[in-house]
Chain A
């Protein structure tokens, strides 16, 4: 048993690592992708290109525009002089927001009346527009508060408002709300999913394609020796990729690792049961490597979209939320983020780990059973 398994492993590892392109795919691409994700997948909204259409041009209106500029969220790129330019800028996408201050803005404020202020947003990207709107509201609110505190008492000779509620917010786990802290560790899950599932299915199907599978069936090698020989190398490669990405996250992006790395590898092992199970399953339904690749992507896309990697599961329709319980990525992402950012341990993460164990056992068991059947 061990002798044959050892032979399979030696052969698989030679095959996986001999080709320089393959080494590149296995170990360099994950690091590169982590870096790309770290920089590119960024939902922080800063320096929103903004035009100001100030028809009032009074100290008050200029003060307000300056506050937008100073906040760091808005970058005023143009001051508009005519109405038609508003449409033009928006249509061309040259700005994402336009601040319009009507004539008489300063006078209204001075007179103690409500002064309307308009912000026009490019709502194509609804997410960004929402965030920009939120920033604008905060700036306007602050402006209001100060106005009430200084200007009004001066003009009326009395303090109208003694105080109000001020929200003091603190974000735990990701103190500066940096999106790289949220996304970079999660890249581990995607890379491990793609590499182990895709490559393991292709490694099996390749043997079918070149005819060595038939040769294997004629030798006394057992099914379990063959399956273990095919999957264990990808378990090792999966672990190495986790280590590579963790190192890049830690040393390049300064993502904190607050929990136990040992737990991370333990959870990875549980996650690999599912990915290798899927890989093996795909190899039973494919006869060429191309088919295996196409079928893998058929699994990978929904798995990524419905994992909570980018889109919160809580926002999905209820039916789809239930569906995500079948997605191993969903559990693994919670574990990764829990370990990296929250520093929690198995006492908190056990439900997710149990989920991975159950899911992995079912998928792997089913795939192995099917695999044996197709060979017979």
Chain B
């Protein structure tokens, strides 16, 4: 097996006329935490489902753990763990029964069964609830148990499809500690998310929008290389009213509220900063500070998507 855990070449999935995934190519290295980022409906889950053998691709190819996704799905299934946002546990079974069931399905040797079971229970923090029905567990517990069941057979690659949706922030944090722990043991993690803070935890990110790959790189690369414009943070009074005034200044893209501050997208920060200061002073705003900042992933994300929309919208309208 090469040092690539997952490869995709021009992978495509159509549902009728709708192109859910449009010729996506990328590689995931072994031991990497690879984030698949995009808004709802961008094609994240469809891609992951093709990689796991749930869906057949319409065109293109791919490999997982060195096996072809079209021809060798059964081999792939033995080498991956998969967990979706639904936390596919049997709610009418107890914690232990769920683990026993999955360890039987994965045919874990009897000698290891007990160890793996204890490992999952400890990892999920369910020692006191091992005989409880899964239905009564909180979202965070279910999520950790589902992850435990998905990695019972110690797969080299795990696919997590929005694993943290609907779970409180502390549980999310704990969950990511588990993912780091697994990755530290050499496991490749392929995870989809639409939470920006989670994206920051990944080694590398792919940004997918409307079925197309629009950016690929480490979080730091995305913030520096893919961002054509610069971000200026403005702290002033009445930020909501200030937005309109700032957006009217030439050379400025748009402004967005980030808490009590404004993030302004500018062609050139050094030219725009004096212009903003001037306009705000003229409008009677008190200005606490204006400075250029390193864009957050969210800034990058919004900027890339808007750039893509500007590119494609006129075409779409033309084709109508």
Residues on A close to B: CB < 8 A?
A: 3-4, 6-8, 10-11, 14-15, 18-19, 210-212, 214-221, 376
Asked if residues A7 and B100 are in contact (CB atoms below 8 Å), the reply is yes
Show 12 residue pairs from A and B whose CB-CB distance is below 8 angstroms, ordered by the A residue: A3-B107, A7-B104, A11-B93, A11-B97, A15-B93, A18-B92, A211-B84, A211-B87, A215-B82, A218-B52, A219-B106, A376-B56
Q: Does B91 contact A (CB under 8 A)?
A: yes
A6, A8, A11, A15 interface centre (most CB from chain B within 10 Å): A11
Contact flag A221-B54 (CB < 8 Å), given A14-B93, A19-B92, A214-B88: no
Contact flag A212-B52 (CB < 8 Å), given A4-B104, A14-B97: no
Contacts of A15 on B, CB cut-off 8 Å? 90, 92-93
Asked if residues A215 and B92 are in contact (CB atoms below 8 Å), the reply is no
One of B54, B77, B100, B101 near A220 (C-beta < 8 A) = B77
Contacts of A215 on B, CB cut-off 8 Å? 82, 84, 88
Asked if residues A4 and B84 are in contact (CB atoms below 8 Å), the reply is no
Q: Does B123 contact A (CB under 8 A)?
A: no
Asked if residues A219 and B90 are in contact (CB atoms below 8 Å), the reply is no
A4, A210, A220, A376 interface centre (most CB from chain B within 10 Å): A220
Contact flag A214-B54 (CB < 8 Å), given A14-B97, A15-B92, A220-B74: yes
Provide the bound-state CA to CA distance between A19 and B135, in Å: 13
Q: Does B305 contact A (CB under 8 A)?
A: no
Q: Does B178 contact A (CB under 8 A)?
A: no
Closest A residue to B83 by beta carbon equals A215
Contact flag A218-B90 (CB < 8 Å), given A3-B107, A376-B56: no
Shortest Cβ gap from A111 to chain B (Å): 84
Shortest Cβ gap from B242 to chain A (Å): 46
One of B84, B90, B97, B105 near A221 (C-beta < 8 A) = B105
Asked if residues A212 and B88 are in contact (CB atoms below 8 Å), the reply is yes
Contacts of B106 on A, CB cut-off 8 Å? 219-220
Q: For chain A, what secondary structure do more than half of its interface residues adopt (helix, strand, loop), or is it mixed? A: helix
Tally of A-B Cβ pairs under 8 angstroms: 65
Contact flag A218-B89 (CB < 8 Å), given A6-B104, A7-B104: no
Asked if residues B105 and A210 are in contact (CB atoms below 8 Å), the reply is no
Q: Does B53 contact A (CB under 8 A)?
A: yes
Known: A215-B82, A220-B107. 20 other contacts (CB 8 A): A3-B104, A6-B104, A7-B100, A7-B104, A7-B105, A10-B100, A10-B104, A15-B90, A18-B92, A211-B86, A211-B87, A212-B90, A214-B54, A214-B88, A217-B54, A218-B52, A218-B54, A219-B77, A221-B105, A376-B56
Q: Which of B43-94 contact A (CB under 8 A)?
A: 52-54, 56, 74, 77-78, 80, 82, 84, 86-93
Closest B residue to A219 by beta carbon equals B105
Q: Which of B86-137 contact A (CB under 8 A)?
A: 86-93, 97, 100-102, 104-107
B53, B54, B80 interface centre (most CB from chain A within 10 Å): B54
Provide the bound-state CA to CA distance between A11 and B102, in Å: 10
Contacts of A212 on B, CB cut-off 8 Å? 88-90
Provide the bound-state CA to CA distance between A15 and B90, in Å: 9
B56, B89, B90 interface centre (most CB from chain A within 10 Å): B90
Contacts of A8 on B, CB cut-off 8 Å? 105
Contacts of B80 on A, CB cut-off 8 Å? 218
Asked if residues A218 and B53 are in contact (CB atoms below 8 Å), the reply is yes
Give the B interface residue count (CB, 8 A).
Answer: 26
Provide the bound-state CA to CA distance between A19 and B93, in Å: 11
Provide the bound-state CA to CA distance between A10 and B92, in Å: 13
Provide the bound-state CA to CA distance between A11 and B94, in Å: 11
Contacts of A11 on B, CB cut-off 8 Å? 90, 93, 97, 101
Contacts of A19 on B, CB cut-off 8 Å? 92
Provide the bound-state CA to CA distance between A212 and B91, in Å: 10
Asked if residues A214 and B74 are in contact (CB atoms below 8 Å), the reply is no
Asked if residues A210 and B107 are in contact (CB atoms below 8 Å), the reply is no
Asked if residues B102 and A219 are in contact (CB atoms below 8 Å), the reply is yes
Shortest Cβ gap from B130 to chain A (Å): 16
Provide the bound-state CA to CA distance between A337 and B172, in Å: 63
Shortest Cβ gap from A22 to chain B (Å): 10
Closest 7 CB pairs of A and B: A7-B104, A211-B86, A215-B88, A218-B82, A212-B88, A220-B77, A211-B88
One of A14, A211, A220, A376 near B105 (C-beta < 8 A) = A220
Closest B residue to A4 by beta carbon equals B105
A3, A15, A217, A219 interface centre (most CB from chain B within 10 Å): A219
Contacts of A18 on B, CB cut-off 8 Å? 92
Shortest Cβ gap from B115 to chain A (Å): 18
Q: Which of B142-195 contact A (CB under 8 A)?
A: none
Contacts of B82 on A, CB cut-off 8 Å? 215, 218
Contacts of B101 on A, CB cut-off 8 Å? 7, 10-11
Contact flag A210-B86 (CB < 8 Å), given A14-B97, A220-B74, A220-B78: yes
Contacts of B92 on A, CB cut-off 8 Å? 14-15, 18-19
Shortest Cβ gap from A158 to chain B (Å): 88
Contacts of A220 on B, CB cut-off 8 Å? 74, 77-78, 105-107
Interface string of B177-216 (1 = CB under 8 A from A): 0000000000000000000000000000000000000000
Shortest Cβ gap from A194 to chain B (Å): 22
Provide the bound-state CA to CA distance between A219 and B53, in Å: 10
Closest B residue to A376 by beta carbon equals B56
Interface string of B244-283 (1 = CB under 8 A from A): 0000000000000000000000000000000000000000
Closest B residue to A7 by beta carbon equals B104
Shortest Cβ gap from B32 to chain A (Å): 21
Closest B residue to A226 by beta carbon equals B105
